[in-house]
Structure 1
Amino acid sequence: MARSKVDARREHRITMEIVVDTYTEEECAMGWYCYLEDQLSFPFKARVRKTMDASPLKSGEHVTVIALAHDQLCRVAIFVMARHGEREIVVPLAQLVPVGADRNTREVVADWHYWHDQGYSF
């Protein structure tokens, strides 16, 4: 995926608050996991922003995000537990956009989208 325009303010926050003092892929993944765990307000409604191979959801569908997935699942990317109809499924956070969530939750998810869309990885 092509990198989008650099957001200096967001880059600084990610570097200084989320991945600061992380030296390995596992430390970086845990930095993101702890940041999201501390900052997200569950549950929140979300819209699928794009179809992804790692998920059964289609663009435009709506879900309720109920929790972060187990930290062991979040070693490669961040996944969340979502209620979709009567089922609870695990989906990539990069696929979802909060709808009607509080400001902090929207910003935190936007931080993850930025990191993901820039092509960064753990």
Structure 2
Amino acid sequence: MCEDRIEMEIIVDAYGPEEQTMGWYCYHEEKLSFPFRAKCIAERRISPLREGDKVEVTGMATESDCEHEMFVLLQWEGRALGVPLSQLKSIGVEPATKQAIEDWHYCVRARV
């Protein structure tokens, strides 16, 4: 179950928001296999992506960029750009990558 995995694997031993964020960051660095294709599933004011845009995700943003939300990198107009992972759905990825993205989506929905 998703909640159990989050509690027992991702944020285990995390005693505050900062430690939980680092747990998520480390989890994504370990589980996401880059590069991977993704599709924008929700527009955000902080991102130039539009719903339906397909992109290639090339890596995680820095730890400091992910202090409040997980950001991944993609190439945009010739430069690396960070976009929220919650904005993306994977396309044809290996199971661990798909699960890590879905876990993050679950976490974001649960916060609302």
State percent identity of aligned pairs.
Answer: 41
Shifted more, 80-89 versus 57-66: the winner is 80-89
Structure-1-length-normalised TM-score: 0.87
Give the alignment of 1:83-102 within 5 angstroms. Answer: 83-84=75-76, 86-102=78-94
Consecutive aligned runs of 4 or more in structure 1 exceeding 4 Å deviation: none
CA distance in 2, matches of 1:69, 1:57: 17
Question: Residue 10 of structure 2 aligns with which residue?
Answer: 18
Structure-2-length-normalised TM-score: 0.95
Matched, 1:44 2:32: no
Task: In structure 1, give the amino acid aligned to 2:62.
Answer: H
1:107 CA drift (Å): 0.7
Question: Residue 108 of structure 1 aligns with which residue?
Answer: 100
Unaligned runs of 5+ residues in structure 2 are: none
Matched, 1:118 2:110: yes
Question: Residue 33 of structure 1 aligns with which residue?
Answer: 25
CA distance in 2, matches of 1:48, 1:83: 14
Could you say what secondary structure the match of 1:52 adopts?
coil
1:84 CA drift (Å): 3.5
Q: Let me know the Cα RMSD of the aligned residues.
A: 1.2
Question: Residue 3 of structure 1 aligns with which residue?
Answer: none
1:88 CA drift (Å): 2.4
**Aligned residue-pair number:** 112
Relative contact order (C-alpha < 8 Å, sep 6+): which is higher?
1
Q: Deviations over 1:41-61 (max 9, x none)?
A: 000000001101221111000
1:85 CA drift (Å): 5.4
Task: In structure 1, give the amino acid aligned to 2:8.
Answer: M
